[in-house]
Amino acid sequence: MLTGGGFFLTDMVCCKQNIYRRYGAMDDQQNTLTYEIIKAAVAGEKWATARILKHYDDYMTELATVKERQPDGSVKTYVDEDLKQDIALKLLEEIPNFPLKEAKRRAKEETRRRYNTCAFV
């Protein structure tokens, strides 16, 4: 089981950048979390919750990867599926606490920034 605090959806957003650097964009355009998806997940929509879990699946796998030293001195690496399930459950528990007002503000800023950087010919 996971103990301690500090595991929030926003923490995962920041940390997922490390996976992008290591493994590439991972089909980012098809699995991007938009404000609308997060808002639907906070409201309890199952399809949106599934999208969030899919979005963070690679990251949760990395967090649940365990290295175990064997008696012969070798190291066995495997995904602890119980730990991965605990991480997924904690993520699901935190979705209703997501700061929607902050996300909406950031989404508006991003839209303005994109609009202001467009070159009109």
Annotate 52-76 with DSSP letters as a single string.
HHHHTHHHHHHHTEEEEE-TTS-EE
Task: Identify whether the C-beta of residue 52 lies closer than 8 Å to the C-beta of residue 38.
Answer: yes
Q: Where are the beta strands (DSSP E) in 1-121?
A: 65-69, 75-79
Averaged pLDDT of the chain: 80
| Predicted confidence (pLDDT) at residue 29 exceeds the cutoff of 60 | no
Residue range 64-116, pLDDT digits in tens: 999 999 999 999 999 999 999 999 999 999 999 998 888 888 888 888 887 77
> How much is the pLDDT for 33?
87
CA neighbours within 13 Å on the CB side: how many for 93? 11
pTM over 0.75: no
